[in-house]
């Protein structure tokens, strides 16, 4: 027992000394990450923070707004790793390794430059036909369709193929339209999430959101030859974005009574949830739609609510087309 305990203590001391060894190079890791990203992307990044024992460096790109102020455009991460005696790719081979073994393995900066352009392209060319863009929050994640290699030691954070489409070959310099065309047969939509604000709860707005969700599903699938969407989530509320944040986001907490303290309250009244990559057809569409009850403590499929018949009547001609 005593021998086992001593072995554990010795192991923990070695582990801690290893962490201390890595942390002692934090400043060098930060300098290497910044210099690498500055040169690759032609920017002047600012180091924001480090974690993972200093091996993940967060960088910020800023735009000057006046003599004394600037606006952060985006953040990205540079990942360093042991590149000697491992399978890890050395993305920075012309620069000497730190401590003879650490160098840059991968980064997310190309993706973080490109994806806002893709997001804006979709907002401008589709979403704005339905909603005021100031009254929505929209996020989208795209990845390589069926990568040859899973996530592994070659590239941190990415599979090798997904890393290539974002962070190599100057792909981040392409317009969203050109990038989507270039990789149409290699990408798939991973996840889409949209919050729609300031929409009073009524049958007309629910029908509009349902038509929007159905057409959005078709539009996004048309952007790729894979026609895949791993998950699409749409939520609609009568609150403003600021009100929803104050109330705790999509799902908040409220004291309904002394007997039921801190019950959940849905701050939205409408949701579309397709997390199974299923093409939404008009015949099956209703099973993806849920509506909250009057005090927003529970949700039901729309077929079980008072809105089913009036919404169905509004949509009969629209979705059948």
Q: From CA 293, how far away is CA 297, in angstroms rounded? A: 7
Q: What is the DSSP letter of 317?
A: H
Which burial class, exposed, middle or buried, applies to 215 when counting CB atoms under 10 A from its CB (0-12, 13-18, 19+)? middle
Q: From CA 198, how far away is CA 238, in angstroms rounded? A: 4
Return the half-sphere exposure (C-beta side, CA atoms, 13 A cut-off) of residue 80. 34
pLDDT confidence of residue 126: 98
With a pLDDT cut of 90, the percent of the chain lying above it is: 64
Which burial class, exposed, middle or buried, applies to 262 when counting CB atoms under 10 A from its CB (0-12, 13-18, 19+)? exposed
Q: From CA 251, how far away is CA 100, in angstroms rounded? A: 50
Higher pLDDT pick, 275 / 266: 266
Sheet with 299-301: strands ordered across:
136-144, 187-196, 232-236, 270-274, 289-292, 299-301
Pick the closest to residue 249 from 263, 235, 232 (CA basis): 235
Pick the closest to residue 189 from 99, 118, 129, 85 (CA basis): 118
Q: From CA 267, how far away is CA 265, in angstroms rounded? A: 6
Arithmetic mean of pLDDT over the chain = 87
For the ranges 3-17, 272-286, 296-310, the lowest mean pLDDT is seen at 3-17
Q: From CA 190, how far away is CA 232, in angstroms rounded? A: 9
Contacts of 252 (CB under 8 A, 6+ apart): 264, 265, 267
pLDDT tens-place string over residues 188-240: 999 999 999 999 999 999 999 999 998 999 999 999 998 888 889 999 999 99
Number of helical H runs and strand E runs in the chain: 8, 12
Q: From CA 185, how far away is CA 175, in angstroms rounded? A: 17
Residue 67 pLDDT level (bands cut at 50, 70, 90): confident
Q: What is the largest CA-CA distance in the chain?
A: 79
pLDDT tens-place string over residues 121-177: 999 999 999 999 999 999 999 999 976 666 556 788 888 889 999 999 999 999 999
CA dihedral 68, 72, 73, 76 (to 10 degrees): 140
Do 280 and 217 contact (CB within 8 A), yes or no? yes
Q: Domain-by-domain residue ranges, the chain? A: 24-107, 111-320
Pairing outcome for strands 187-196 and 232-236:
parallel
Kindly give the residue spans of alpha helices, DSSP state H, lying in the chain: 2-23, 26-41, 109-125, 160-167, 176-182, 203-222, 241-246, 308-320
Q: From CA 14, how far away is CA 8, in angstroms rounded? A: 10
């Amino acid at each position: 027992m005593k021998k086992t305990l001593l072995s554990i203590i010795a192991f923990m001391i070695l582990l801690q000394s290893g962490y201390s060894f890595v942390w002692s190079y934090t400043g060098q890791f930060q300098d290497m990450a910044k210099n690498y990203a500055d040169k690759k992307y032609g920017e002047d990044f600012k180091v924001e923070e480090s974690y993972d024992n200093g091996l993940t460096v967060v960088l910020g790109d800023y735009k000057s707004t006046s003599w004394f102020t600037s606006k952060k455009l985006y953040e990205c991460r540079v990942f360093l790793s042991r590149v000697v005696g491992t399978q890890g790719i050395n993305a920075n081979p012309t620069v000497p390794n730190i401590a003879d073994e650490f160098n840059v393995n991968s980064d997310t900066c190309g993706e973080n430059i490109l994806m806002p352009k893709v997001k804006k392209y979709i907002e401008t060319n589709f979403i704005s036909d339905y909603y005021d863009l100031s009254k929505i929050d929209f996020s989208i994640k795209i990845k390589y369709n069926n990568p040859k290699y899973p996530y592994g030691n070659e590239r941190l954070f990415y599979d090798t193929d997904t890393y290539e489409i974002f962070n190599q070959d100057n792909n981040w310099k392409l317009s969203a339209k050109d990038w989507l065309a270039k990789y149409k047969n290699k990408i798939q939509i991973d996840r889409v999430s949209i919050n729609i604000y300031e929409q009073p709860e009524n049958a007309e707005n629910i029908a509009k959101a349902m038509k929007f969700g159905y057409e959005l599903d078709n539009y996004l699938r048309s952007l790729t030859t894979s026609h895949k969407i791993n998950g699409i989530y749409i939520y609609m509320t009568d609150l403003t974005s600021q009100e929803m944040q104050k109330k705790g986001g999509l799902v908040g907490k409220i004291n309904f009574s002394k007997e039921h303290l801190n019950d959940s309250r849905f701050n939205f009244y409408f949701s579309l949830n397709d997390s199974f990559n299923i093409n939404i057809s008009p015949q099956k569409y209703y099973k993806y739609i849920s509506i909250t009850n009057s005090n927003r403590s529970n949700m039901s499929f729309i077929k079980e609510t008072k809105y089913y018949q009036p919404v169905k009547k509004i949509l009969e001609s629209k979705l059948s087309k």
